[in-house]
Amino acid sequence: MVSDQEFREASDAQLVVAVGRFHQGALAEAYRRHGGAAFGLALRITNDRALGEEVVQEVFLRLWNDPEKFDPARGTLRAYLLAHTHGRSVDLVRSESSRRLREERGARRDRGVDYDLEREVWDLALAEHLRDALRTLSDDERSAIELAYFGGHTYREVATLLGQPEGTVKSRIRSGLGRLRSTLVATGAVGSGEPWLES
């Protein structure tokens, strides 16, 4: 059997292969690497620890059950897991009942997340790059992205919240994310290659 130490040293893609072989230790390692980010994102969107945990559980069970749905040619495991976390969290908060619940809680809203930017060296270096990259965005671009991504709002809702035209908001989301990416590529924080292949 492969030891937990082996999994610690494995690449994300190797972990997914091992998950395909029903190695629970590989799933545990994927969770160790990305579970915190998934939970943090689900919690920010749902603002509800129980819902957040439910989402994370679903996301990792899905990786366990359908590892072949992750295609490394289309991006990193982190992006794959977080895209599912995001989609599922957004589905939950957009359902009527939970929206009401969420609005009721709005007044005493507490994100409840104490960010620890010094968790890991990787994080630290990347956080630095990300902070620099975020400075290249206008306040409007940053707000639009945050409300859409972390707030789980549609671009129409974002437009209402910011009192801006819808067309402006959707292009700000796109241009803002695009600029973040170019800045991060320029500093070497993310790869410039385009591994995404024609499928």
Partner 1 sequence: MARELTPDELGQLLGAYALDALAEDDERAQVESHLGREVSARVEVAELREVAALLAAVGSPPPPDGLWERIEAALEAEPPRLVLPLDAARERRARRGIGIRVAAGIAAASAVAAAAAAFVVTDEMAQQEDRLAVVEAQMGVEGTRRAALAAMASPQARVAHLEPADPAAPRAASATVVTMPGGDAYLMAEALPDLARGRTYQLWAMTGDHDHPTLLSSAILGRRVDVVSFHAPDGSLGFLITDEPAPGVTTSVRPTLLSGEFA
Site residues for partner 1, window 11-50 (CB under 8 A)? Answer: 13-14, 16-17, 19-22, 24, 27-28, 31, 34-41, 44, 49
Is residue 117 involved in binding partner 1 (CB under 8 A)? yes
Number of residues that bind partner 1 (CB under 8 A): 95
Is residue 198 involved in binding partner 1 (CB under 8 A)? yes
For residue 118, what is the DSSP state? T
Reduced to 3 states, what is the DSSP secondary structure of residue 117? coil
Residue type, 125: A
**Smallest gap from residue 77 Cβ to partner 1 (A):** 10
Is residue 67 involved in binding partner 1 (CB under 8 A)? yes
**Smallest gap from residue 100 Cβ to partner 1 (A):** 18
Is residue 62 involved in binding partner 1 (CB under 8 A)? yes
Q: What's the CA angle centered on 48, arms 151 and 30, to 5 degrees? A: 85
**Smallest gap from residue 104 Cβ to partner 1 (A):** 22
Looking at residues 96 to 115 of the shown chain, list those that interact with partner 1 (rule: CB under 8 A): 113-115
Is residue 1 involved in binding partner 1 (CB under 8 A)? yes
**Smallest gap from residue 139 Cβ to partner 1 (A):** 16
Task: Pick the closer one to partner 1 by CB: 109 or 182.
Answer: 182
CB atoms within 10 A of CB 191: 10
**Smallest gap from residue 120 Cβ to partner 1 (A):** 10
Is residue 79 involved in binding partner 1 (CB under 8 A)? yes
**Smallest gap from residue 186 Cβ to partner 1 (A):** 13
Q: What's the CA angle centered on 70, arms 181 and 182, to 5 degrees? A: 5
Give Rg (Cα) of the chain: 18
* Contact yes or no for 46/92 (Cβ under 8 A): yes
Sole binder of partner 1 in the list 8, 156, 160, 186 (CB under 8 A)? 156
Helices of type H across the chain: 4-9, 12-20, 24-46, 49-65, 77-94, 96-106, 121-135, 139-149, 155-162, 166-186
Looking at residues 119 to 148 of the shown chain, list those that interact with partner 1 (rule: CB under 8 A): 119, 123, 126-127, 130, 145, 148
For the four alpha carbons of 169, 179, 86 and 107, in that order, the dihedral sign comes to: negative
* Contact yes or no for 51/42 (Cβ under 8 A): yes
